[in-house]
Structure 1
Amino acid sequence: MSEIQAASVRDVAADSPADLAAVISRLYVYPVKSCAGVEVQQALLLETGLEFDRAWMVVDANGHFLTQRELPRMALIQPQLKHYEMVLRAPGMLALHIALDKVEAPVRVKVWNDEVAAYDMGPIAAQWFTDFLGTTARLVRFDPEGKRLSSLQWTDGIESPNQFSDGYALLVISEASLDQFNEKLVARGHAAVGMERFRPNIVLGNPAKGDKVLPHDEDRLELLHIATDQGEVQLKPVKPCPRCPIPNIDPATAHSSPEVGDLLQAYRQDARVNGAVTFGMDAIVLAGVEHLLKVGQPVGANYRFE
């Protein structure tokens, strides 16, 4: 841990009373960037976020990353993580098996403004993605020896690595935030949507006893203290997550319609990111690398005052 990280950890004493009590109610890993997520009951925490999260990415012929923004059908690609392999399934396609411990040729790829080292996953995977997406595509895996850092501006100088995420190790959203959103959505005459639309890693829910988590409490928290069997995990929310058109895409059908984005525009414009609409908080890992996060673990946090 760096000196800056250690100082941040000391900002809130582990034994101080927490302003907010919550639990981890759901955990999600997204092995292939912009494909469907995998809901899990437990996940190993690494410096870069949850193990295998955004470890793979789909790129075009020039090595530029592809997402649901351009190719909504990516939402229909369902990964499954097994002991030694990842299995990818999609409508009309035979299953694609990807060994977790094998890669092929080293390549350079681009994700947003970053050019990073990666490994190509070979011609069979490339043909599978090309056939399903209808455009030239290849599958690549992040090079674990490479280093891609979150914005130091938002992390207050803390060096926080991530893999192929949009920029931060984790995304945290509360159930209360989704519940409030769905109340507003139903009032407009639309069907409620699932948490999958917003692609969080950690979902905060209410403990069995105590105060309830309020909508968008995650926006106001300084540090998340999570009690695990190996000790305390500390996560720092650092940036409100700006939302692109992906939440408009129904993950079950890949059909896109504007009601989710329209509602976000109505009440979630955030001055902290120049008026962009936000939902959830990007977070970094301060302590607890190699600890196992599990659904049901208690979470304590203090509110941030600026």
Structure 2
Amino acid sequence: MSAIYTVKEIYIYPIKSLAGISCKQAFAEEMGFENDRRWMLINTENLHLTQREYPILSQFYPQISDGKISITFKELKHEFSANEHLDQPIDTKVWEDKSEVVEVNKSTSKWFSEQLGFECKLVKIIKSGDRKHESSRLKETFNVSLADGYPYLLVGTKSLDFLNEKLEDKITILRFRPNIVISSEVSHEEDNFDTFKIGEVNFKNVKPCGRCIMVNNDPQKGIIKKEPLKTLSKYRKVDNSVFFGTNIVSLNSGLIKVGDEIVF
């Protein structure tokens, strides 16, 4: 590939399905970026909560500073240590993948329960191997975080531009919750990437990412709309999946930064 591709944006989502954090740099690990989707909310049946059923989750905004995670919701704020957790293991699942997690603390679970209006717990995945995800395409099993499937989502800028040309109400990349946004030349060309390097890290493309109704949640308002899934399904539907962005895995640990070039 002769074009020069660079990293334009980096995001992490510390708590699954809550708002993300824009970063200038991030440390890539096997399970995903450091502090990316290591936490999630579960209900009384130990099932994970997402914006699909609770679009209001997009209104909880995390920040990380000095080893502490603070969550802002409306005019309220709650804080806990990134390292704290209780000892009792909890068996849960992220879709079909079994996972072992632990509750952060009782007060944090209570705070989220009060804001959402029903009982829930904030839990954390502790170590690599506590959840495994099998790739039928690569015939490999990966140690992953609490993300829906794979540790990283890569999106090219032209993919969003091409979609916005078709939408009456333009949207931002935040709808798709990427980890890495790169400058691109052609819409959806990232689907065809194989292996490549960014900064210190080698990545491998697994497969394009099938999207769900969650991309229709306006993250600024927490309201489900009809777009962009309706428009995407007209030109990005394959079998029963609507694709946008591509799932990738890291082959080693290291730092990547905004401005880094993608080397093939």
For residues 34 and 205 of structure 1, what CA distance do their matches in structure 2 show?
25
RMSD over aligned CA atoms reads 1.4
| Aligned residue runs from structure 1 range 62-101, under 5 A | 62-93=45-76, 95-101=77-83
For residues 132 and 179 of structure 1, what CA distance do their matches in structure 2 show?
36
| Aligned residue runs from structure 1 range 176-195, under 5 A | 176-185=158-167, 190-195=168-173
For residues 251 and 2 of structure 2, what CA distance do their matches in structure 1 show?
20
The match for 2:182 is: 204
| Letter aligned with residue 220 of structure 2 | A
The match for 2:209 is: 241
Give yes or no for contact 2:91–2:101 (8 Å, CA) kept in 1: yes
Give yes or no for contact 2:99–2:132 (8 Å, CA) kept in 1: no
Does residue 261 in structure 1 map to residue 229 in structure 2?
A: yes
Give yes or no for contact 2:209–2:243 (8 Å, CA) kept in 1: yes
Tell me the CA shift for residue 42 of structure 1.
0.4
The match for 1:58 is: 41
Question: Number of matched residues?
Answer: 263
For residues 47 and 108 of structure 2, what CA distance do their matches in structure 1 show?
17
Select the structure of larger CA radius of gyration. Answer: 1
The answer to which structure has the higher strand fraction is 2
Tell me the CA shift for residue 159 of structure 1.
3.5
For residues 89 and 136 of structure 1, what CA distance do their matches in structure 2 show?
19
The match for 1:4 is: none
Tell me the CA shift for residue 224 of structure 1.
2.1
Instruction: Pick from 124, 127, 136 the counterpart of residue 144 of structure 1.
Output: 127
| Aligned residue runs from structure 1 range 1-150, under 5 A | 18-93=1-76, 95-104=77-86, 105-144=88-127, 146-150=129-133
Give yes or no for contact 2:84–2:105 (8 Å, CA) kept in 1: no
For residues 118 and 142 of structure 2, what CA distance do their matches in structure 1 show?
34
Unaligned runs of 5+ in 1: 1-17, 207-212, 302-306
Q: What SS class does the counterpart of residue 26 from structure 1 fall into?
A: strand
Instruction: Pick from 245, 256, 261 the counterpart of residue 293 of structure 1.
Output: 256
TM-score, length-scaled by structure 2: 0.95
| Letter aligned with residue 181 of structure 2 | V
| Letter aligned with residue 242 of structure 1 | G
Deviations 1:242-277 (A, max 9, x none): 11111111111101110211111111102xxx3310
